[in-house]
Amino acid sequence: MFETRRISYRTLLQILLTILVIPFVFPLVAMIQGSLAGAGWDNYLTVLSVPLLPGFFINSALVAAAVIVIVLACTMAAAFGFSKLHIAGKEIYFWLLLAALTLPGVVLLTPLFATVTRIGAYNTLWAVILPVAALQVPFAVLLSRAFVDGIPDEMIEAARVDGAGMLRVFWSVILPLTRPIIAAVLVLVFISAWNEYLLALLFLQTPEQQTITLVPQFFVGQYNNDQTKVLAAAVLTGLPVVILYICLQRFFERGLAAGALK
Amino acid sequence: MFRIRSRIAQGVVLGVASVLALAGCAGGNNSSSSSDGGSATSGTVNWWSWTPDNDLAAREIAEFNKQYPDIEVIYKKVPIDNYAAVLKPALASDAGPDVYTVNASGSFSGEAFASYAYDLTPDMEKLLGADWKSKVYDGGVKAFTVKDRLVAAEWAKVGAGIMWINKDMFDKYGVKPPTTMAEWESVCKTFRSKDLGCFREGMSGTAGFVVDTLHSIADSTQPDLWSSALAGTAKWTDPGMVQTLETLRTLSKNGILDEGSVGIQQYPDVNNAFLSGKVPMVQMGTWYQQYATVNSLTAALAGAGVPADTPKITIIPIPFPDVAGKGNPSTMYADPDAGHSVNAKSKNRNAAITFALWMGGTKEGQQVVVNNMDSFATLNGITPQFDKIKLVNPTVQQPKLEEVTKRLGEAKDFRSLGMSAQVSQALIDASQAMVNSDKPAAEAAADIQAAADAK
Amino acid sequence: MTTTTTHRPGTATARRSLSRSSRLHRPSGLPWILPAMIVSVGLLYYCIFYTGYISTLEWDGAAPLQENVGLANYAKMVQDSVFWRSLAHTVVFFVATFVVQVALGLVFACLLHSRLYLKTLYKVLIFIPVVLATATVAPVFRQIYAPDGTLNTILRAVGLDALAQPWLASGTMALIIVISVQIWQSTGVVFVLYYAAIGQIEHSIIEAARIDGAGDFRIIASIIWPGVRGTTLAIGILSAIGSLKTFDIPFLITGGGPSYATEFLGTLIYRVSITFSEVGYGAAISIVLLALAIGAAIIINTGGRRGESNV
């Protein structure tokens, strides 16, 4: 991107990057410090020895996986439809979809509870999966549509001239080129699903069903907020997502190469 | 043309159909409550509450199971900030808890959820006799009786109007607990000269601890004015109230109240600062006496993130100083803090009733509650068994704690019962304005009156 | 999948393929968007209509007694000074966060597309704030800005005692702090999106411009910025909606205070619905929020597309 052949310029850019990143790192350092205060690494041990912790972890993973599958399937199809295909009243559907995104969580609780219990999903993971997916889809569609807009129409035309049906166009042309946005949406949706707290608190009654976001609750007493363990729990909860993000870095890169396919 | 129209129509029909289907399905929650309510001595009871903490709940349930081994109680602790939001939809559905704890007032009061509660009067009479009302705290009876139905069985009482001091700090600098404004100023000057805080309070967030401070100042300025204003027989704009607000400003201006109170929260900021020995005085209520015990204080210090060898401070309660200087006695005011409501739709209703009444209506239940030191008993005659409790400094603390118990028994005013959420918020807003701005006290008082009138 | 090598205009083959493609041109996309519509609209539209219905009631959310008061809640809202202040804060919040996040996100994305060292580390550090749940980081920030907190300690240590103040006690500072926490937490998202979008821009164009002698700024202004327009619009819409909905950060750090200096629509709805149990009023504000969000989205989108057609 930037001209980096001259060492002096490269050093300047590196320094600029570092300075810009410092404000982001500072609170993270404070957080790690906070999690080690008092009992030090014992805080982490205490969190890890919360009963049923592996179960919480697995439940969170299941929720996140299910949400990702549902959201990606709906989103990439919808992005393709909105961006490249003909729909009468397209924008109206789009705004309808977006409207679903705008209600704050606290307002959704009562009607969602009625809906979820009526379909018999109370105290099951589906009670969290379905609303989270429903809330993430408009957000993901908005982002993906912009990205798919950037794919040149000629590529699609060329494929169709070759005799490909829309499904094949989608699978073989669109999907490979949208790897970067799929990766981005995947991570962002994963984070939302992984961090979902309010719905998990409302719908998951028994510890066998509960997710990892409810772990800090064990350390929040009525009077006593055991901040050290809450922070330790937060660090542990955040680790899997960071690891996922690092692994997906390659996916971001591959999109660049695919752009050169043309 | 036709194809396009039908496509739009398709979409519209689909949308409307799904909405109608869900609305129609989800609308009616008219299922009748179970007819016989199940057995009274066996079954599973789901208990939701914001209090107590999990370990104390486990102790209480274990004690309960000594008497009723066949009733399984599953406790779900919901953080107090989310409790009302989570309870509302749960009770509206058929899958809500069997027993849910309620407060005397506010967004999760017995009254707020009275429509879901089963009337406990007949079972209470069976347990304690026809004169049961004379055997328990009358405040709880009042708070939890809605339209002649007993919607909750009280089991905890709480009081406020006292302050807590770090006795070690006072002894170290040779100062005595203040009883007047002048003494308070001088005590704070001493502490501040040593780079310590003095009286710290958190006014940020939604918890209204500053309301207690106003209440105490008001009682010192003009007794009974506060309760009259709450009852509507006096106005918040009365001169006594205006003076109360101005006194709060004085506390902040003359070095008594620590700076920045509108930006900090009572929990955890002030709590951690006090318990780790950074601040000598706070205004907390009777629940704070739990930190006179070794166990609770240790847990609190661990939560505050201070090193394990931080010395455990000796805290003692003192009466609120006579800031108005008129010689009016320092008061305490009390509330029923918690009561168990039984969900009328519960399938295990009778077992739920057994549990709900046990905690507040039996000696065993009350003793477990009271021995934890954060709540007082609602059943007459139950006091903490100090021989079973490990205090940090028994010789100094026990007499003071017994004194508070006596004073609490004599408290006649209520702490929050009868105060609407709007008035409480208006009082907090007024306090913030007095401490953080130049707004005239009369104006702030008028705002409180407006909130009281709006109801 | 190979691309065909026809499209030499003027040849018979090209004419035939062109007319064939115009017949196949743009099949219906309706079945493609249906799954998304069913999942989102199906599950959430009941909530929207329910909220709309509740907004015409005076109800505490629990009692069976619901009093229909028509549009009285909306009238109350118009007269509520806290509502207008919340709206003002929302606008300030949106503008500040959008501008700073776009600028920072774009700069980071450009920098990290260049040949620098330790790129993955930087990418991770910028992104970690996104990953952490707000409920767990808010106390950290409260601690940093507390009267005896980290920031003041540092200021005192370097001799800037005069600047040390109770930051959260000042209305203006509290708002700035809330905005800065949001920027801290969301720049990572903007970065990730710009990074993907810039990757879409063809290298050949940039190379050509460089050969022509264009400097870095010129490339950013004339190639990158227009090239990521779609992403910028999407981010704008999401920022607008997010600003309207914002709840966690102000609620957990300042509680909407001091004296409502950091009150937003999200915190107002919570306060009204949960603390005051005025569920009808809260629903009315939510409906207004929904209308404002859609309105903002339409305005941003139309404005953006109009700019596009002018290019």
What is the residue type of C37? M
Contacts A103 to C, Cβ<8 Å = 44, 47-48, 51, 245, 286, 289-290
Whether A189 and chain C come into contact, CB under 8 Å, resolves to: no
In a domain, B125, yes or no: yes
Query: How far is the first Cα of chain B from the last one, in angstroms, to the nearest whole number?
Result: 57
Whether residues B246 and B173 fall in one domain = yes
Please compute, for residue A255, the number of CA atoms within 13 A of its CA located in the half-sphere on the CB side.
Answer: 27
The secondary structure element, H or E, covering residue B100 is strand B99-102
Residues of chain B positioned with their CB less than 8 A from the CB of C82? none
Confidence of residue A102 (pLDDT cuts 50, 70, 90): confident
Is residue A65 over pLDDT 90?
Answer: yes
Whether the upstream peptide bond of residue C258 has omega within 30° of 0, thus cis, is yes
Nearest CA to C186 out of A129, A191, A26 is that of: A191
ipTM, two decimals: 0.83
Residue type, A92: I
The label of the residue with tokens 């058929």 reads B94
Residues on A contacting B at a C-beta cutoff of 8 Å: 34, 37-39, 87-89, 93, 96, 106, 109-115, 117-119, 122-123, 198, 201-202, 205-206, 217-229
Dist CA C48 CA C51 (whole Å): 5
Q: Taking CB atoms and an 8 Å limit, are B86 and A109 in contact across chains? A: yes
Is the domain of B349 the same as that of B324? no
Q: Cβ of C245 and A73 within 8 Å?
A: no
- pLDDT > 90? residue C60: no
3-state secondary structure at position B282: strand
Q: Report DSSP letters for A132-155, one per residue.
A: HHHHHHHHHHHHHHHHHHTS-HHH
**Structure tokens belonging to residue B242:** 């205006």
Mean pLDDT of B132-159: 92
Q: Is B171 a domain residue?
A: yes
Q: How confident is the model at residue B9 (pLDDT cuts 50, 70, 90)?
A: very low
Kindly state whether residue B84 falls inside one of the protein's structural domains.
Answer: yes
The 10s digit of each residue's pLDDT in B17-52 is: 444 444 333 333 334 444 577 888 889 999 999 988
- Band (pLDDT 50/70/90 cuts) for residue B2 is very low
In whole angstroms, give the CA distance from residue A199 to residue B107.
Answer: 20
- On chain C, the residues whose CB falls within 8 A of the CB of A1 are 110-111, 113-114, 198, 206
* Cβ atoms within 10 Å, residue C240: 23
* Structural element, H or E, at residue B333: strand B333-342
Say if residue B191 is in the same domain as residue B91. no
C135: nearest CA partner in chain B: B81
pLDDT of residue B361: 92
Contacting residues of B for A93, CB less than 8 Å apart:
11
Mutate which of B19, B210, B211, B345 to test chain C, going by most C C-beta atoms within 10 A?
A: B19
Run of H or E residues at B73 = strand B71-77
pLDDT for B4 equals 41
CB contact under 8 Å between B74 and A206, yes or no, is: yes
> B36 lies in a domain?
no
**By the CB < 8 Å criterion, does B452 face chain C?**
no
Reply yes or no on whether the pLDDT at A183 is more than 90: no
CB atoms within 10 A of CB B46: 22
Cross-strand bridge partners of residue B335: B158
Taking a contact as any Cβ pair under 8 Å apart, which residues of chain C between 178 and 237 contact chain B? none
Helices (H) and strands (E) in chain C, counts: 16, 2
How far is it, in rounded angstroms, from Cα A36 to Cα B305?
8
Q: Do B344 and B107 form a contact (C-beta atoms < 8 A)?
A: no
Element (H, E) at B165: strand B162-166
A115–C contact, CB cutoff 8 A: yes
Domain count, chain B: 2
On whether any CB of chain A is under 8 Å from the CB of B77, the answer is yes
pLDDT band at C26 (very low <50, low <70, confident <90, very high): low
Tell me if chain A has a CB within 8 Å of the CB of C213: no
Chain A CB contacts of C265 below 8 Å: 104
Domains and CATH numbers, chain C: 80-310 (1.10.3720.10)
Measure Cα distances from A139 to A97, A192, B420, C238, C267 in Å.
9, 11, 39, 7, 22
Q: Is residue B134 part of a domain?
A: yes
pLDDT, residue A6, reads 77
pLDDT for C248-272, tens place per residue?
A: 899 889 988 788 999 999 999 988 9
Residue B3 tokens, joined: 């194809």
Interchain pair C168, B262: CB under 8 A: yes
If asked whether residues B148 and B205 sit together in one domain, one would say no
Is there a contact between C36 and A75 if contact means CB atoms under 8 Å apart?
A: yes
In the stretch 224-243 of chain C, residues with CB closer than 8 A to chain A read 230-231, 233-234, 237-238, 241
Q: In whole angstroms, what is the distance from residue A245 CA to residue B186 CA? A: 58
Assess if residue B5 is contained within a domain: no
Cβ of C37 within 8 Å of Cβ of B91? The answer is no
**Residue B282 shares a structural domain with residue B355:** no
How far is Cα A72 from Cα A69, in angstroms, rounded to an integer?
Answer: 5
The pLDDT value recorded for residue B403 is 93
Domains of chain A: 37-259 (1.10.3720.10)
- b vs e for B400-436, b when ≥16 Cβ sit within 10 Å of the residue's Cβ? bbeebbebbeebebbbbbbbbbbbbbbbbbbbbbbbb
Q: Is the pLDDT of residue C5 over 60?
A: no
The beta strands (E) that lie in C77-126 are given as none
pLDDT at B33: 43
Give contacts of C237 with chain A, Cβ < 8 Å: 98, 142
Same domain, yes or no, for B372 and B407?
A: no
Determine the structural domain holding residue B415 and report its residue range: 162-331+392-453
In terms of DSSP bridges, do strands B333-342 and B153-160 run parallel, antiparallel, or are they unpaired?
Answer: antiparallel
Residues of chain B contacting residue A134, judged by C-beta atoms under 8 Å apart: none
Q: Are B4 and A88 a contacting pair at CB < 8 A?
A: yes
User: Which chain C residue shows the shortest CA-CA distance from A6?
Assistant: C115
Mean pLDDT score, B161-183: 94
- Subunit partners of chain C (3 or more CB pairs within 8 A): A, B
Counting one residue from A and one from B, how many pairs have CB atoms under 8 Å apart?
A: 106
Q: Is C123 on the interface with A (CB under 8 A)?
A: yes
Rounded mean pLDDT of C82-97?
95
Token digits of residue A81: 């439809």
Length, in residues, of chain B: 455
Does residue B210 lie in a domain region? yes
Q: Are residues B317 and B281 in the same domain?
A: yes
CA B89 to chain centre: 23
Pairing of strands C57-58, C67-68: antiparallel
Tell me: do B277 and B359 sit in the same domain.
no
Other C-beta atoms lying within 10 Å of the C-beta of residue B21: 12
Task: Confirm if B157 and B103 have CB atoms less than 8 A apart.
Answer: no
Nearest chain C residue to B29, by CA: C64
Residues B347 and B320 in one domain: no
Amino acid occupying residue B270: V
Q: Is the pLDDT of residue C59 over 90?
A: no
Closest chain C residue to B24 measured between Cα atoms?
C46
Please answer whether residues A178 and C196 qualify as being in contact, where contact means their C-beta atoms are separated by less than 8 angstroms.
no
For residues C189 and C38, give the distance between their C-alpha atoms in angstroms, rounded to a whole number: 27
Q: Would you list the DSSP string of C19-71? A: HHHHHHSS-B-HHHHHHHHIIIIIHHHHHHHHHHHHTTEE--SSSS--EE-TT
Q: Are residues B309 and B224 in the same domain?
A: yes
Contact C192 A184 (CB under 8 A): yes
Residue C83 DSSP symbol: H
C104 pLDDT above the threshold of 70: yes
Q: Which of residues 252-311 of B touch A (CB under 8 A)?
A: 267-268, 271-272, 287, 290, 299-308
Q: Residues near A167 by Cβ (< 8 Å), separated by ≥ 6? A: none
pLDDT (0 to 100) of residue A260: 36
Closest partner CB to A245 (pick from C41, C124, C245)? C124
Picking from A148-162, B218-232, C98-112, C176-190, which range would have the lowest pLDDT averaged per residue?
A148-162
- Closest residue by Cα to residue C142 from C97, C170, C178: C178
Is the Cβ–Cβ distance between B186 and B246 less than 8 Å?
no
Q: Are residues B216 and B297 in the same domain?
A: yes
CATH number of the domain to which B343 belongs: 3.40.190.10
- Tell me the pLDDT tens digit for each residue of A11-57: 888 999 999 999 999 999 999 988 888 778 888 888 888 878 888 88
Domain end position, chosen among B347, B364, B382: B382
For residue B399, the one-letter residue type is P
Asked whether residue B346 is domain-assigned, the answer is yes
Angle between helices B349-361 and B121-128 (to 10 degrees): 50
Query: What residues contact B279, with CB distance under 8 A and at least 6 apart?
Result: B166, B196, B197, B198, B199, B200, B258, B270, B273
CA distance C273 to chain B (A): 9
List of residues 6+ apart from B170 with CB closer than 8 A? B176, B177, B280
Report the distance separating Cα C305 and Cα A12, nearest Å: 36
Supply the DSSP string of C188-247, one letter for each residue.
HHHHHHHHHHHHHS-HHHHHHHHHTT--HHHHIIIIIHHHTHHHHHHHHHHHHHHHHH--
Instruction: Give the minimum alpha-carbon distance from B52 to chain A in angstroms, rounded to a whole number.
Output: 7
Q: Is A171 on the interface with C (CB under 8 A)?
A: no
**Vertex A199: Cα angle to A195 and A204 (nearest 5):** 105
